[in-house]
């Protein structure tokens, strides 16, 4: 009896631990997140951020933009004095509480890859298990694939699935997400696509037609080292975990590291401490090199029909280019039409508005990006990047209650693309 009681107590404790908030080494007690309407005061807002040494979720890139900043308790008084007269709103009154609520992971039992997965966020190991279980449910038309390894030796893991004509014989569709480690909603939405397309193949004629027409390669976490770090050390970490010679700062932005228009100025930082650090040279992040190699292999073997890099937050559906606000992709007109249609399809579900247009003019200049590379080097016929929910009420700390609505509405946008690409 004692052993049974001990076992039941251990199981209860294990269950409680699994559903408890994950510890964050970097504490955010007393931190607040503010949004500043920049208007025509870009220089002033940048000066405030620099003088106070504030972390930014969104930097003030241009007049009329918004700057979302994280303010520690020791600097709140100075911040309030500095922004007197500016238009400031509060996004998170208690950032620690918001993170604790969001980071209460759901429990996951091996072999239970069902829709309840999308009710909460999950640990990295559970994400891997979910993919394995999803594949095991459909073993004849799916496979686990890897796109090389991260610097820390973690396999960049995805799921490949196909339709009635077999694998590797149709044009490829490749999706990346969690490029920036803190963007957890993108992991879940990308998995929602895989789940939707696999589980409904036998019952939904339209979905069957999509999977019969294309081979899908979905990679929910392409920055695994950074993602794990957000769950064990620092929730708001963005980059990979690569050390930098001559600097104590860690990480490269692997979406500023691709070997296309990498050296163009103004679209990434040369400072290793910056969130958008481009690296010492193009493609010197192992993750970037591995992902590029995988895309090249699919271009050569099957042809690449569609590439989408999923991000958060801002509610944008964007097209190449990021490196220039005047250069235009070869399919610019068609890409704009498709992006407009995708945004309209998303809005038709719950009324969520997405802006659309080229990256540079829609959000900001970004050099060395995966989308520009995939369009001009990777051979993608159609290339997009999207910023998912929201526009700043929650930012990166999006409540779990928004996972399913995000998946449903974004699926509507993806469906529009799949129906209307030529």
Active site residues: 387
Helices and strands (H, E) in the chain, number of each type: 13, 14
CB atoms within 10 A of CB 21: 13
End-to-end alpha carbon distance in the chain: 67
Eight-class DSSP state of 5: H
Q: Which residues of 207-219 are buried (b: 16+ CB within 10 A; e: fewer)?
A: bbebbeebbbbbb
Decide: 280 and 306 in contact? Cβ < 8 Å.
no
The CA distances from residue 48 to 51, 69, 191, 234, 392, in Å, are 5, 10, 39, 24, 20
DSSP 302-346: T-EEEEEEEEESS-EEEES-SS-SS---TTHHHHHHHHHHHHHHH
For the record, the structure tokens of 374 come out as 């995939």
- Tokens representing 420 are 């209307």
């Amino acid at each position: 009896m004692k052993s049974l009681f001990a076992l039941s107590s251990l199981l209860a404790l294990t269950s409680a631990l699994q559903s408890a908030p994950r510890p964050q080494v970097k504490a955010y007690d007393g931190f607040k997140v503010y949004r500043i309407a920049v208007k025509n005061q870009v220089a002033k807002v940048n000066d405030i951020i620099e003088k106070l040494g504030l972390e930014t979720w969104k930097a003030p890139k241009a007049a009329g933009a918004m700057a979302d900043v994280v303010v520690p308790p020791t600097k709140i008084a100075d911040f309030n004095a500095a922004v007197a007269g500016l238009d400031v709103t509060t996004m998170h009154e208690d950032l620690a509480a918001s993170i604790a609520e969001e980071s209460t992971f759901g429990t996951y039992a091996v072999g239970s890859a069902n829709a309840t997965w999308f009710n909460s966020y999950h640990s990295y190991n559970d994400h891997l298990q979910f993919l394995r279980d999803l594949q095991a449910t459909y073993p004849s038309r799916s496979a686990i694939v890897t796109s090389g390894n991260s610097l820390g030796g973690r396999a960049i893991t995805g799921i490949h699935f196909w339709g009635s004509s077999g694998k590797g014989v149709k044009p490829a569709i490749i999706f990346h997400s969690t490029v920036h480690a803190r963007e957890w909603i993108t992991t879940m939405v990308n998995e929602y696509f895989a789940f939707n397309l696999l589980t409904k193949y036998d019952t939904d004629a339209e979905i069957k037609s999509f999977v019969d027409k294309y081979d899908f390669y979905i990679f929910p976490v392409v920055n695994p080292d950074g993602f794990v770090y957000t769950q064990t050390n620092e929730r708001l970490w963005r980059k990979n975990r690569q050390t930098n010679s001559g600097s104590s700062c860690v990480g490269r932005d692997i979406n500023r590291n691709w070997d296309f228009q990498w050296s163009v100025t103004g679209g990434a930082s040369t400072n290793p401490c910056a969130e958008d650090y481009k690296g010492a040279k193009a493609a010197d992040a192992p993750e970037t090199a591995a992902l590029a190699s995988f895309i090249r292999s699919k271009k050569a073997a099957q042809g690449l029909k569609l590439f989408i890099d999923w991000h958060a937050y801002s509610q944008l559906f964007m097209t190449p280019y990021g490196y220039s606000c005047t250069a235009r992709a070869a399919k610019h007109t068609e890409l704009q039409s498709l992006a407009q249609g995708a945004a309209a399809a998303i809005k038709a579900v719950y009324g969520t508005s997405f802006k659309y247009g080229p990256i540079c003019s829609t959000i900001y200049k970004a050099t060395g990006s995966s989308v520009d590379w995939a369009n001009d080097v990777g051979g993608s016929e159609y290339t997009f990047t999207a910023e998912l929910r929201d526009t700043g009420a929650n930012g990166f700390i999006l409540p779990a209650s928004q996972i399913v609505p995000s998946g449903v509405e974004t699926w509507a946008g993806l469906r529009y693309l799949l129906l209307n690409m030529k």
